[in-house]
Structure 1
Amino acid sequence: MHALFSRIGGISILILSLAACAIGGFLVLERLHSRPRTEDAYLAANIVHMAPEISGRIVSLPIHDNERVVRGQILFVIDPEPYTYRVQKARAQVQTIQAQIDIQTRQVESQVSHAGAEASSVTGARARLALARATQARLAPLEKQGFVTREALDQARTETSTAEANLASAQHAAQAARQAVRSVAPLRADLASAQAVLREAERDLRLTTVRAPCDGIVTDMTIAAGEYATTGKPLFTLVDDEAWWAIANFRETQLPGLSIGQKVKVFAMARPDRPITGTLESINAGVLPDEGVSANGLPKVPRSLNWVRIAQRFPVRIRLDDPPTDLMRIGATVVVVVMR
């Protein structure tokens, strides 16, 4: 009888243990469903490759590798001397053209006045010609009747010819005076071009002092003062410390339970006891598949089939709300738990 009770007790314990395991497994699955999590995650931030927009010798480098800098802080200074000379040269060119415009403007005013006087001479010559023709027209019939001498008529004809010649000469002089009036438009175009060159030179001079575009951390700096900086060539990297993200890779079966704006808890492996809150910002649209890609314009389909299909993982971008400065490092491992 004692052995029977012992056997029944053992079976009961086994049943209770299996039931407890089943209930525990169900609770774990329910928790994973209600609070999706992944350990395949890391920290990320924007980076700025600090490359100068002008070339020149670095004369000042007041920062060091891994140093924190603030927005607007001077990072390095390129020798400004040659760019100062360019500004002076461009400014002198602007002043020269402006002086030429002033001189030519006064000349144009004088030429316009002269052209006006010549135009008045044409008007007078035209009036004298009209008078001479009228006089000749009156004397011609009188000469036939003998009331005026032939000499008087010839005199009238001579005056008409002289008036015609004077009118032609006045018209030619007036046209020459109008053509002599020079326009300042070409010089004004040259002035606009010179002013553009000056603004560009002034901008290059300002760019000799390079400042931090954001709060950040200097990294990968292997240069010193005296290095020659080349336009567009990065000198070091600046990690943007104003915003941090956690990039978490979730299985595709978990994605339907995720939505933009959900609150997230992030646990850094360096300090898992300090949870960091965040907000789910975006879900990646796709990743490159292992199979089914194209090669040489044709789809590549494998001949063998792997019967064990593993769910694909997609990156989810989570913006950290108030990240602790001492834990923020690009690539640091974190655990991400989505709150519902």
Structure 2
Amino acid sequence: MNSLPSRIGGIALLILSLAACVITGFLVLDRLHSRPRTEDAYVAANIVHLAPEVSGRIVFLPVHDNEKVRRGQILYVIDPEPYTYRVQAARAQVEGLQAQIEVQTSQVSSQVSHAGAEASGVTSARARLTLAQATEGRLTPLARQGFVTREALDQARTETRSAEASLQQSLQSALAAKQAVRSVAPLRADLAAAQAQLREAERDLRLTTVRAPCDGIVTDLNIAAGEYATTGKPVFTLVDTEIWWAIANFRETQLAGLAAGQKVRVYAMSQPGTPITGTLESLNAGVVPDEGTSANGLPKVPRTLNWVRIAQRFPVRIRLDNPPTDLMRIGATVVVVVMR
């Protein structure tokens, strides 16, 4: 008699349990839809490979591996002595050209004055010739009529020939004086080139002191003062701590509801009880597919087919808002929840 109510109670409990499971499942699905999340995420930051722009031996290295540095702080100094000599040589060349320009400018002024005087002589010679020709022109008809002696006419003709010769000589002298005027334009061009070399030498001298371009943490430092630094070859790496990101790999089925500007909560695995706020900044444009690539110019198609198709994951960049510095390490695992 007691078995029937027990069976009914058991069936009812089973039904209630199944209903609770279904409701819980719907709630979980609704939460996953309204708040997409992923555990496939990690902390990221920009890194700066501190490579010098000038070569030389490192004479001062005040930082250490894993040390925090501030923007503008001296990281290392390359021997400035040879670059100081280059600046001095470039400055001496500039000063020498400036002195030459001053001297030649003075000479040019004198040459221009001389050319002006010769030009004035041409004007006087031309006026003298005009007067002599006019005098000869007046005396010629008078001499035919007997009013002027033959001697006076010959004298006027001689004066005309002399004035013509004097004009030609003045013209040649004026041309020579004009050609003798030297221009300072070539020296000014040389000066501009020398000044550019001086600025470049001064810049190289400044670059012997390498400063931190941002707040950061020194890493991968395994040299000491005395090492020779080569242009373009990194001496060590600086982790930029001014901006931190979380790179979250979301399934492609979740991307439709994600957009730039959405608020995000990030939980570091080392301290899951400390939520970090952030803003979704951008969605990745694509990843390299496992299939469909090419080799030797031909499509590469696999012979086998996996019937279980797994959704592709795409990186989503999230900028963190004032994250705790003690939790920020590149590659640290985090959980990302998007707050729609």
- TM class by shorter chain equals over 0.9
Aligned equivalents of 1:212, 1:63: Cα separation in 2: 11
Amino acid at match of 1:222: N
State the partner residue of 1:228. Answer: 228
Q: For residue 324 of structure 1, what is the amino acid of its counterpart?
A: P
Q: What is the TM-score with the length of structure 2 in the denominator? A: 0.97
Q: Report the secondary structure of 1:310's partner residue.
A: coil
SS in 2 for 1:40: strand
Which digits, 9 at most, give the CA deviation of each residue in 1:175-203, with x for residues without a partner? 10111111111111111111111111111
Q: Post-superposition shift, 1:33?
A: 1.4
**Corresponding position of 2:239:** 239
What residue in structure 2 maps to residue 309 of structure 1?
309
> 5+ unaligned residues in a row in structure 2: which ranges?
none
Separation of aligned partners in 2, 1:45 and 1:227: 28
Q: Return 252-261 or 37-46, whichever deviates more.
A: 252-261
- Partner letter of residue 186 of structure 2? P
1:149-192: CA deviations, max 9, x gaps? 32222222111111100000000000101111111111111111
User: After alignment, is 300-309 or 233-242 more displaced?
Assistant: 300-309
Match of 2:19 in 1: 19
User: Residue in 1 aligned with 2:290?
Assistant: 290
Amino acid across the alignment from 2:145: Q
1:73 counterpart residue number: 73
> Which residue is 2:10 aligned to?
10
Q: What does 1:183-198 align with in structure 2 at a 5 Å threshold?
A: 183-198=183-198
Measured after TM superposition, the shift of residue 303 of structure 1 is 3.5
Task: State the one-letter code of the partner of 1:49.
Answer: H
Deviations 1:280-307 (A, max 9, x none): 1111111111111233333333343221
The equivalent residue for 1:47 is: 47
Listed as ranges, the matches of 1:36-115 within 5 Å are 36-115=36-115
| Equivalent-residue separation in structure 2 for 1:131 and 1:256 (angstroms) | 103
Residue-pair matches, total = 340
Structure 1 distance, partners of 2:26, 2:138, is 132
Secondary structure at the counterpart of residue 49 of structure 1: strand
* Structure 1 residue 35 displacement after superposition: 1.4
Unmatched tracts of structure 1, length 5 or more: none
SS at match of 2:243: strand
| Counterpart residue identity of residue 28, structure 1 | V
CA distance, structure 2, for counterparts of residue 25 and residue 283 of structure 1: 29
**What CA distance in whole angstroms lies between the structure 1 residues aligned with 2:79 and 2:125?**
70
CA RMSD of aligned residues (A): 1.2
Secondary structure of 1:223's partner?
coil
Q: TM-score, normalised on structure 1?
A: 0.97
Instruction: Write the deviation string for residues 1-34 of structure 1: whole angstroms up to 9, x where unpaired.
Output: 1222222222222222222222222222122112
Q: 1:133 is matched by which residue type in structure 2?
A: Q
> Could you list the per-position Cα deviations for residues 255-302 of structure 1 after superposition, in whole angstroms to 9, with x for gaps in the alignment?
112221111111111111111111111111111111112333333333
Q: Residue in 2 aligned with 1:118?
A: 118
Alignment correspondent of 1:202 = 202
Instruction: Please state how far the C-alpha of 1:132 moved relative to its aligned partner.
Output: 1.2
Report SS of the residue matched to 1:65.
coil
DSSP-derived class of the 2:238 partner = strand
**Separation in structure 1 between the aligned mates of residue 99 and residue 213 of structure 2, nearest angstrom:** 41
Asked whether 1:320 is paired with 2:320, we answer yes
